[in-house]
Structure 1
């Protein structure tokens, strides 16, 4: 903590791209860390809307949003300091085009109910631009994905671009998670780089082998299964290349279409689904290789994969396509292979693992001694706290 940093407040409203659940991501690690550091701060964490109509079109069970409610217990954070809000999107944009305004009104109303008079607005979802305009709250824009580069329809691409432009131009501060994002935003304004991190000690603490991890050698991927990132065809090819040698295992929330999931399972991929964040180290520690079969394009080049730090913390062999972060690390346990050589590289990694000595759980964990340091969440929380303080207390206007 820097000497002049405050240890109280400020209250925050966080517009998140992901829900607060057991699958922890950047927002949860940073928010929980800030709440532990700031004894009196409170947070209203705004989750993505529940969309019953969209759920029906995907064959899922529709449900309304869960509204305003206290968060489940978080270690080191007192009760009723963290609140969750899941609004409901009743109709598609083409039928009800002012959904962002309605959501903004719901968020402002919830903040008033909690007594958050003038919170700092932390926007992770670009559609939070409407809330920034409506509320007038001092705003921090935390850019973790370049959604302007994602493959979307023309109308949605325009909306995202407009929202992103407004936030970049008008937020009191802009943070980015990757050097690529910093370079992309540099023409518009100065930004602060706050990469992802990892709780190194927790990932190196020996964990039991998960009961649902397939027997035999495994190549494990941990992360959200989303077509914007995961190369489904490459996963199929890799699973077939491992036939008779081992199993490709995907651990994480499933955001793929049913057809893609069926394709993966027919190829022999073990799709395990989401697992609580405290169970993730066990899957990584007991993998024979860790893999990143990602699409390589302009969108994935904007990312700072959380798994880069989690994989490196456990010190297992890694095979990745040449995506940002993995292709740049000097960690000698990380091998980068293009798509046309990826399956063979994973197969070779598993074959090599069967030739080495069998390690007890937790033995040999950690990176090579000469690898670059791994950013920790403690450090990244401190960086973000400095930015929040600057947004809370903007520089005085020159006379």
Structure 2
């Protein structure tokens, strides 16, 4: 295959407008950015997840748009009657075959006769025809069957993973744990999540708040059931000031944390301010419970923590803890372990030298992570 026809990117369950709103933060968002910046890819077609009539009406009121129409970038906004995910396998198959047909039509209309396809949507990977694409890749970000809010859907999701494996589709997974669970019969690759080095180019420029005499332990991310509330409570009880910045996705977890002395919930922090917030901390923390979901993750926040240069304490989960950059520079704790001692150990280790921090930011960059994926999608490597 050559790169003449470009790459079609099918989003997970969201849209280009959603990516714009969140500042192109997610794995899929950054794959789009990597493709757009690579000269081997002449054109990128971004396919929104299909939206129903009511959802499209709301989108019009918000003045949402698809990807801009340029020589290098195009967008398509497929539609369905209802956005809600069907509840039977047959209905799911029908929806994603229809979605795939809309992508095929749009790619031809945009002069892409036989593009590569990278889809982030499990059902599309499992049930789309894909006969219009010269190469197909499923990019798996999470074990969707292990997401608590999708518990009722888990059997359908598990069926879809089995179908992906049986089809021999190329699979890119963010962790080796996730890749093993999918167990593809075709090619399989591990590509951990990454960072945007420019966002962390000068984290030390943040003004450190010294009005707080206690050690400040910072967390940036969603407040949800992944968090080990017991670990956070132990750190606060030990006299540390624990500050958590992020959207409260699980109200019960939020209420539990709000009741702890020494714990401050800051709410969502603008993306541009996250680096400053973390750089003002004494220690950056990821304390997660061990679950099937967290074991399969590639924890973006840990990589971002490393780019601040501050000491990092994180739960040792799944395969990410085996990465050399993580093992060398993160104080790892077994799930349910002694986080108080880990914070003390991290403080003794101290912050990273600036030269080490800068090299880490570059080695963990999305562009470097995505290089082998783009080489295959563009046809420049097998």
Matches within 5 A, 1:196-275: 196-200=193-197, 202-206=199-203, 208-209=205-206, 217-227=215-225, 229-235=226-232, 237-238=233-234, 240-241=236-237, 243=239, 245-251=240-246, 253-256=247-250, 258-267=251-260, 268-275=262-269
1:1-399 alignment runs, 5 A limit: 6=3, 9-16=5-12, 19-20=18-19, 21-22=22-23, 24-38=25-39, 40-47=42-49, 64=58, 69-71=65-67, 81-83=73-75, 85=77, 89-90=82-83, 93=86, 98=91, 101-102=94-95, 105=98, 108-109=101-102, 112=105, 115-116=109-110, 118-129=114-125, 132-133=128-129, 137=133, 138-150=135-147, 156-170=153-167, 172-186=169-183, 188-200=185-197, 202-206=199-203, 208-209=205-206, 217-227=215-225, 229-235=226-232, 237-238=233-234, 240-241=236-237, 243=239, 245-251=240-246, 253-256=247-250, 258-267=251-260, 268-325=262-319, 327-330=321-324, 331-345=327-341, 348=344, 364-365=353-354, 367=356, 374-390=363-379
- CA 1:29–1:332: 2 relative to 1, 3 Å: same
* Deviation for aligned residue 1:127: 2.2
TM-score by length of 1: 0.72
Secondary structure at 2:125 match in 1:
helix
SS in 2 for 1:156: helix
Question: Which residue of structure 2 aligns with residue 57 of structure 1?
Answer: none
- 3-state secondary structure, aligned to 1:247: strand
For normalisation by structure 2, the TM-score amounts to: 0.75
Q: Quote the Cα distance in structure 2 between the aligned partners of 1:163 and 1:83.
A: 26
Give SS of 2:244's match: strand
C-alpha displacement of 1:158: 1.5
**Is residue 138–residue 171 contact of structure 2 (8 Å, CA) maintained in 1?**
yes
Deviations 1:12-56 (CA, angstroms, capped at 9, x unpaired): 132325641226022222210111114631222424868989xxx
Q: 1:52 to 1:130 in 2, by over 3 A?
A: farther
Quick one: distance in 2 between partners of 1:230 and 1:145?
Answer: 17
Tell me how far apart the structure 2 counterparts of residues 48 and 147 of structure 1 sit (CA, whole Å): 19
Q: Distance in 1 between matches of 2:307 and 2:180?
A: 27
CA distance in 2: counterparts of 1:337 and 1:95, whole angstroms: 41
Report the Cα distance in structure 1 between the residues aligned to 2:57 and 2:235, rounded to whole angstroms. Answer: 36
The CA RMSD over aligned residues, in Å, is: 4.5
Q: Measure the CA separation in 1 of the matches of 2:328 and 2:345.
A: 14
What's the CA shift for 1:321?
A: 1.7
Structure 1: unaligned runs, 5 residues or longer? 54-61
Classify 1:26/1:210 alpha carbon distance in 2 versus 1 (closer, same or farther; 3 Å): farther
* Larger helix fraction of residues: 2
Shift of 1:307: 2.4
Distance, in Å, in 1 between the alignment partners of 2:272 and 2:74 is 20
| Per-residue Cα deviation, 1:111-156 (whole angstroms, up to 9, x for no partner) | 6457245543322231223662377544211122223445577752
